[in-house]
Structures are given as structure tokens and as C-alpha cells.
Amino acid sequence: MSDERLFLGLDSSTQGLKAALINSSFEVVYTSALNFDTDLPEFKTDGGAHHHEDGLTVTSPPIMWVAAMDKLFDRMKAEKAPLGKVVAISGSGQQHGSVWLRDGARDALRGLDPAKSLREQMAEAFSVADSPIWMDSSTTEQCLMLEEKLGGPQKVADLTGSRAYERFTGNQIAKIHQASPDKYKETQCISLVSSFIASMLVGDYAPIDASDGSGMNLMNIRTKKWVQEALDCCAPDLAFKLGDVVPSHTPVGKLHAYYTGKHGFDSSCIVIAFSGDNPNSLAGLRLQKAGDIAISLGTSDTVFGFLAEPTPSESEGHIFANPVAPDAYMALVCYKNGSLTREHVRDQSANGSWEEYRNLMTKTKPGNGGSIGFYIKEPEITPPILKTGMFRFDQSGKPVDSFAPEVEVRAVLEGQFLSMRSHCGNIGIKPASILATGGASVNEAVVRVMSDVFGVPVFVGDQPDSAALGSAYRALHGWRCVVEESFVPFAETMSGAPEFKKAVDPDKSAHSVYNGMLAKYAELEKKIVAG
């Protein structure tokens, strides 16, 4: 195995930095992780971030991300990770966060000296010491400005894939430009977290990739070029500071000599463009063609979809450029009411027992006799429902105060998946098969309803650290494209990867019952959204 080639995926997330090394048979041969709060306590972060007093501003010190690289690479070397066999590296960054580099940063990157730490050498590189991250929601004013300038939220969504969102980088840039014009002026390059980590590896400014670039409200998702009107609305000379967008499989340079001497990497190792954590998770979940979708069932539920033709919407989800297929798209739809809401219903109606829950489910039929429920324990994002509560309707659409326990346990699952089907359909997701991941994916009652509502088979498999693993897959994919001197389909690169296990096939008659319920569900939902 001495000539075995390895591929490294790094994931700079909100809370820490992870590494996953895979071989060409997709086996994970080494992993490592560090946590910003506990491994770098001097930055005094909470969950990797600083939450400011206004309750809206959330930032992280970019020098902490630099220090984390020193620490992780030193640890990997000490643990004798076979870094000399790594032929390509790619990676992931929490989406939307920005890194502001001043004049002189490029020289520091180019001249990285293995006798010193990255932290020492990058200490003076930042024009903004506190990078805004995705948890920041302080830019409502800038979002309204952008929507007004571009012709409304749907117009912004049509152009950039999402309506203006507070955490999206363009709005964050506009805020910093307005609040600190001097800092803006001093800035030579604005990177995303993803492209910044890649910059440290290649020792130069690495470009933003199209998939993570879609989380900025600045890039045309179809042409993958900056929308000049959006740039002009945010700040002057922005195109220059952002540089050009590249497809996600692009090699962005050779690994800088800093890492060969210091950590034992081979000098031929290349770096493939880094991307956002959600795009990398799409790759890590091995979604390969239009119609592949994954539903991650966790505290919040997230739907990842691979799609050929998007229909962006001002009211639901995000469309990004696809990280593994330059002509395709990915959709991301997040729900706040996920496992905690399902567990709340289990606790109220099934004595906290999933077994009792499953027994209760057998007492009702798909479609629940026409009863429909909306379980909004937390203010919901998809669709936006701020007023929390449980809203139940009988078969004639009349509000009722409660359901019998056997109706209640079915209503929450049917409601959640009808909502997913309806909103995912609105933005162009047409599932051919579903991969269910996350805690609740082992629950048969849950995957049965999921399969019947969507009318497609459901596969299951837990994929922990999907962003780091997806980065390693993308390193392999990008490397194959370089070796073959042309684009190789991701599916071809991934052939031979382990298959996920099929959990259920849809029941045709149950599916047709759900088809008949969709319109009624959407109509009731409209009423709830309207308050």
C-alpha cells in the first residue's frame, strides 16, 4: 500500500476544524478534530463565536482560524498521519462568513516561512479583526436596500438564488463599508471562510468557488458571474476585492512549500477550490445526479437537493451552484421544527416511547382520515411562521383543539413531510430517491411516512462529518479532473463507493392519498402563515 494515494478534506466549521483523509477506495484512513473553545481558549469564543451585546451581531476572530491550522497540522504530524501520500486537498468553510485581508496579506501568504507559525505571519493580515459569520443577523437595513435596488425579494432570488438574507455576505460587506469606510478602503481582498483557508494552503489569494459564492446575494447563479448592480449596491470596487469566481472542482494552486518542509507533505500536492459546508455535505452524502435528495433529520431538519433546473423563491430555501456538477444546482431548505417537535408530540401522546408511537401509528391509515396538523414549536423558517403553536384541522378543514393520540402522532409526521414535498417542489426539487440521515432516520415510522409522501424509495445511512468527508471526495474529484485534463462526472469518480442501505419502498396507494392531500395542506398553510 506504500504507493497509495490519499485525499485530504478539511472542514473549518463554526465550532472547530476537522480533517478527514481518504484513500482512492473511499476508506477513511485518518481523522482529527479540534474545538475552538477548548483547544484555543485564549480567543474566548462560545461555540466558536463572539455574540455581541446588541443580540444581533455575531463574529469570530479570523486569526483563530489561522491558529487552528497550525495546531491541527502539528497534531496530524505528531500522530504520524501519512501526509506525504496526500495528492490533493480540498475543504469546507462555514458559509457566508467573510475574511478581510489588507495590503501586505498577499506578501505574507506568498512568503510563508516554515521556521515561523502561520499565526505569527498572518497577525497583521486582517483589516477587520472580527469576521461576521452566518449567525449574524444585524443587516436587515442592508437587505432591504438590496431588495429595493434590485426590484424586490423575488428578483433578488431569481438573480442570486435567495432573497436578501442578513447572514449573506454581500449584506455583511455593505454594513462594514457603511460603518467603517476606512477599514473597507484598507482591504485588498475579501475572502469567504472557505477561500481563506485555501489561501493559506496555496500561499496566495485563492478564488471563491461558485457554490459557496452563491451564499453572498452577489452572484448570478446561472452565469456564475458577479451581478454588477448588487455589487454597486453593497460597496464600491467590490469586484476587484472579491476576484473571479471559479467552478468548485478547479485546482487553485500547489500546496505552498511551507507545508512540505514543516509537515511532510509532498511538493506535488495540489489544492482544489474550497467550498461551503452545505455544498460539501451534498458531496459527502454522495448526491450525484438530479433527483438525488438527502433529508437530514436533526434538531432542525435540512433538505439537500441536486437539481437540474432551479426555480428560486423569495419565501423558501436557497439555490446554490452545484459543487460537483458545474451546470447543475443544489437546493437547501431548512426547517426549525425537526426532532424536538417530533419528540414533543411523542412525549405528549405516546408517553415518551417510540415503541408506543409506532403502535399508535398502526391504528390510523395514511392520510389520517383527512386530519391535518401544523406543529410550530419553534418559530418556523419554511414557510416563515413566527407565531408558535399547534394548529389542527379536521377533515372538513375546521380548526379543532386536539386530536386523539393515534391521530396526533401521525399528523406531525405527515404535516412535516407534506410541507417538505410542497416547498421543495416549489423551488424545483423533483426527488427520485431520498437519503435519510441524522438521529430520526433510524425510526421506521418516520421513514415510512417520508417514502409514502414523496413516492420514492428511502435509503438510510449515517454520515457523520459529511462536510469534511465531502471535501475529501471533492479533492479526489478535482484531482481526477486534473489528471484526465477534462471534467470527469462526479458519479464516475464515486463509482465503487459504498452504497447506502434501502430502508423502504413507497406504498403506491398511500402515495396517491398524499397526492390528494397536497392542495388542502397548502391552502391551510397559507392561512397559518397569514396569521
Binding site for ligand XUL (CB under 6 A): 13-14, 94-96, 134, 167, 215, 276-278
Planar angle of CA 33, 475, 99, nearest 5 degrees: 65
HEC readout, 372-387: EEEEECCCECCCCECC
Task: Kindly state the cell numbers that stand for 265.
Answer: 507533505
Q: Which is nearer to ligand XUL, 317 or 431 (CB)?
A: 317
Q: Are 456 and 434 in contact (CB under 8 A)?
A: yes
Q: Closest Cα to residue 30, out of 43, 18, 40, 38?
A: 18
Q: Which is nearer to ligand XUL, 94 or 98 (CB)?
A: 94
Q: Minimum distance between the CB of residue 214 and ligand XUL, rounded to whole angstroms?
A: 10
Q: Give the start-end residues of each E strand in 138-262.
A: 187-192, 208-209, 245-246, 251-254
Q: Closest Cα to residue 282, out of 199, 186, 211?
A: 211
Q: Minimum distance between the CB of residue 467 and ligand XUL, rounded to whole angstroms?
A: 8
Q: Minimum distance between the CB of residue 367 and ligand XUL, rounded to whole angstroms?
A: 34
Q: Are 476 and 411 in contact (CB under 8 A)?
A: no
Q: Which is nearer to ligand XUL, 213 or 215 (CB)?
A: 215
Q: Minimum distance between the CB of residue 323 and ligand XUL, rounded to whole angstroms?
A: 13
Q: What is the residue whose three cell numbers read 498572518?
A: 122
Q: Minimum distance between the CB of residue 96 and ligand XUL, rounded to whole angstroms?
A: 5
| Residue sitting closest to ligand XUL (CB) | 95
Q: Which is nearer to ligand XUL, 203 or 215 (CB)?
A: 215
Identify the DSSP state of 206: P
d(CA 19, CA 469): 8
Q: Which is nearer to ligand XUL, 93 or 431 (CB)?
A: 93
Q: Minimum distance between the CB of residue 130 and ligand XUL, rounded to whole angstroms?
A: 17
Q: Closest Cα to residue 42, out of 64, 20, 21, 22?
A: 64
Edge-to-edge strand ranges of the sheet holding 329-335? 318-321, 329-335, 301-307, 292-297, 433-437, 458-460, 501-504
Q: Minimum distance between the CB of residue 256 and ligand XUL, rounded to whole angstroms?
A: 26
